[in-house]
Chains A and B, each alone.
Chain A
């Protein structure tokens, strides 16, 4: 049993930072998002997992991203962490595209470059659809295991764990395969300055859908955006603790009806 050097692709997406302000635009047809962007949380875990596989057995790691004027932050972060190279599909048709268009673009890059293993995040923290990873696997015709929490690679086989309601599933799949990373798989590293320098200077090849011979799927049309409903203001109960507690229980029973 031995680990063999592999060429690994990591599908990465640039998403709004979790602290970015998001507001539904007037009319509910779009959202306004503060321009604070980062590498998707789960993709960062996938990058780390790929780098660890490379550290253990050699090989190379490439970040692949698709977006309309976005993605550069995500691939730079992956490069800073230690990825060897990156590919960026940049096409206006990817703006509000159906996940299938993104999947086709990413799969086309994977197909063209040829990878032994494709890793992705379980889902993106912006739309939370979790579709692109499995779609890419389908387009590539390779096995797919989602929400992986442990990964062992040996002799061209991936042995992975995933958490389910019934307990931990251990799945074995031949490679090439596509695996999506769940929280807990590993802790992403903080990039070193040398990595940042490399990422800052990296020339990242950009391509569009036509370059890849990819046709856009029927675009996704969001009918309506609605913000979370505003919570009513907190009600402060005055008075002695014992009386206030009794008052609280009464309100929980009669008003909130939760008891």
Chain B
């Protein structure tokens, strides 16, 4: 058993933390207030090459192990959840299937520019009546000569309104439920493909988020991202553990920022002649938050390690996502209490953490779905 990061991973984490401090922190409030990613920040940050972190070196990537990737997701989320969302969409969900199944021409046209930060990528699952319930996907892909015709409306698409290309989940046969689902690459400018209504979010503000509308959008055969038709859910399963672990790492990063602020405040804020951190009820909060944070950290990096070892920790990844996110929600709540009324003021950070943390509840599966899944796995484990 060895819980230490390698010297290289430590070095990487320190370098990312320093980059986040220098480049992202100065923009955090502006990103939240304007609900926009400053283009100069996007250019400067993506120019450093992080977007290729999990891809092979010959594609401009770093071929990083999952633990290293989680360190990155945690650190960038410590800076800004909104910015982190836009970046992670480009480096994981928005590009994975293009990398995995894209033809050389598609990789050249979409993946490589996305890794360089020159193109924005997104992934579309959610619809008006479906999210976690993927089998209810209504976006249809009909076979046509030389390709497919897609029709439907996707919703809650991070990077959607600005995306240069999207990996769209659509059913080729609704009667087959999950077995009818497939991924299709749809590029900006394809006739019939356009952004719909913009969504205004409570938190995790920054990247544009909203609808993507597909009206009889024709894409050629090579845009079906999958080696075999009807295997979309199987392919999704290949990155689901990573996506859930990543969400846990984001929660950790955010919770660390909130906890750090809360701790500082408890040390400085005086009440009845001494710092509030000297009172037992505040110390209890600090102790509980710190304990939960350690537990969440252990779970997230344990799962990352298992993924790196080639295991398939489906249950554990779901647990880690849920536990880290719930820890984050608890920490941001307690920190707003430590801040007293100042936790309610827009001049201080906690109100933003409080809003941002809610965002992590939904991605990678709601906790109701996750609990049902984890419970089912355990009950049937024999």
Which A positions have Cβ atoms within 8 angstroms of B?
38, 72-73, 76-77, 80, 190-194, 196-197, 199-201
Contact = CB atoms under 8 A, between A and B. Distances in A.
A200 B49 contact: no
A194 B23 CA distance: 18
Nearest to B273: A233
Interface string B171-208: 00000000000000000000000000000000000000
Interface stretch (B10-18, B76-84, B291-299, B300-308): B10-18
A193 B14 contact: no
Contacts of B52: 193
A194 B12 CA distance: 11
Given A190-B22, A200-B8, A77 B15 contact: yes
A78 B49 CA distance: 18
Interface in B39-63: 47-50, 52-53, 57, 62
A211 B47 CA distance: 41
B8 A191 contact: no
B14 A192 contact: no
Contacts of B23: 190
Nearest to B15: A196
A200 B18 CA distance: 16
B275 to A, nearest CB: 11
A192 B15 contact: no
Q: Main secondary structure on chain A at its contact with chain B?
A: helix
Given A190-B48, A191-B48, A196 B22 contact: no
Contact of A80 (B7, B15, B22, B53): B15
B19 interface: yes
A73 B48 contact: no
B14 A191 contact: no
Contacts of A38: 14, 18
Contacts of B11: 73, 76, 196, 199-200
A77 B14 CA distance: 10
Contacts of A192: 47-49
B8 A193 contact: no
A34 to B, nearest CB: 14
Contacts of A201: 8
Nearest to B10: A73
Contacts of A191: 15, 19, 48
B57 to A, nearest CB: 8
B60 to A, nearest CB: 8
Contact of B48 (A72, A77, A193, A199): A193
B14 A73 contact: yes
Q: Which of A191, A194, A196 has the most CB of B within 10 A?
A: A196
10 contacts: A38-B14, A38-B18, A72-B7, A73-B11, A191-B48, A193-B50, A193-B53, A196-B11, A196-B15, A200-B8
A197 B68 CA distance: 12
Nearest to B50: A193
Nearest to B68: A200
A189 to B, nearest CB: 10
A196 B18 CA distance: 12
Nearest to B44: A190
A38 B22 CA distance: 14
Contacts of A200: 8, 11-12
Nearest to A236: B270
Contact of A197 (B7, B22, B62): B62
Interface in B210-260: none
A175 B22 CA distance: 34
A73 B8 CA distance: 10
A194 B63 CA distance: 11
B49 A194 contact: yes
A196 B48 CA distance: 10
Contacts of B7: 72
Contacts of B18: 38, 190
A222 to B, nearest CB: 28
